[in-house]
Amino acid sequence: MDIGQDEHFFFWFFESQQNPESAPVTLWLNGGPGCSSMIGLWQETGPCSLSQNGTTATLNPYSWTRYSNMIFLDQPVGTGFSYGARKTFSTEETAIKVYEFLQLFYEVFPKYKPLPFTIFGESYGGHYVPSYANYIVKQNNAIQKGHPSKFNYIIPIESIGIGNGWTDPLIQYYYYPQMACESQYGAVLPQETCDLMRRNYPECANLIKKCEATGTNSDCIAAEKYCQNNVELHYYSSGKSFYDVRRGANDIVYPDDYVKFLNTPETRHLIGARTGYEECPTEPASNFGQTGDNIRTFSPAISDLLNSGVRVLVYAGDADYICNWYGNYAWTMQLQWQQSPAFRAASLNAWNFQGKQVGQVQYGGDLTFLRIYDAGHEVPFSQPAPALEMFRKWLHRESFHA
């Protein structure tokens, strides 16, 4: 889809397997920045998966298309099959482009305009999802107030979901030592390394606060560089995967056989792809690095969404290091919005599925936090059945204690 002058977004759309004319519309976004949402399609929530040689497609019984119409979007430009000369250099800049994409989507497919809309994303989706959703809410308000705009469609956003997201670096950096040395899966680093990470955290926090105070690219880049080198990346010495502390660094945690399938001339022709496919190209991340986007916080956008009546689900596989559940739970507990006392007054309780406890849940004031046991960075890959049930309950507004 052509967004602007030399900006071309690739998306793959699937109707819901059940009642597509009334099922919600879900936009799925993978992270990076610069990682393709074909990851989510082929490894996690899409209708099909592939054999190990990347040639034979099979139905995914846990596809989220069972309950929702699903859009898998490659963004920003330079990600996956999306291409063009016009680049974006921050999450907030890209939010404008994704909003334009959605307006064009509704223009081409008007029958989906009345249906409830939600955005789900993981990893750097902790930046993307709140920013894009908040931009949508602001544009909806402007349209309703009659402010001039080249876009006229109200996007009926009802909720968002963030899986193992990178949302509030100031808080999340604090919990790297805890995940590395004190998780239920056992220590993967020597205690002295975790102690060093803790000693380095105050300087990391000071630099992040300076970035937040000034907002300048240089201050944010300095904060990102220090925090990564002196806190986060000590984890390299563990020899473990950043995405699952139970696996080795050289293990194939998430098979990428689908990449071979997408790069065949036959597949590219059938799906209208104009470029070769790369799962996580470096250019978008490099572009975002020029503004220190990684270290900027997006939890205030979530506060705004909650105050606007948009429901928020934050879920986390508890074996992930890079966007671990400790840090995600901590920022939800420190979030400030009108009904935050109701959320903080609650506590983590068992979440059961098919007669077994598969996680813990806490909710209040339109915010739900869900910890998923025995899952790494990609929850729908590690625990597909509980992840699908989570999605079903969320869309249908069912209690996780029921």
Q: Choose the catalytic residue: 68, 340, 377, 382.
A: 377
Whether 304 sits among the annotated catalytic residues: the reply is no
Q: Yes or no: say if 49 and 301 are a contact pair by the CB < 8 Å rule.
A: no
Q: What are phi and psi of 81, to 5 degrees?
A: -90, 0
| Distance in angstroms (rounded) separating the CA atoms of residues 248 and 267 | 33
- Selecting among 123, 131, 183, 238, the annotated active-site residue is 123
CA-only gyration radius of the chain, Å: 20
Residues 6+ apart with CB under 8 A from 316: 163, 164, 165, 323, 324, 325, 328, 329, 369, 370, 371, 372, 379
DSSP bridge partners of 7: 4, 84
Q: Is 320 a catalytic residue?
A: yes
Structure tokens at 73: 């979007």
Q: In angstroms, how far is the first alpha carbon of the chain from the final one? A: 42
Buried b (16+ CB within 10 A) or exposed e, 205-235: bebbeebbeeeebebbbbbbebbbebbbebb
Which of the residues 293, 320, 340, 366 is marked catalytic?
A: 320
Is-catalytic flag, 123?
yes
How many C-beta atoms surround the C-beta of residue 187 within 10 A? 14
- Provide the annotated active-site residues: 123, 320, 377
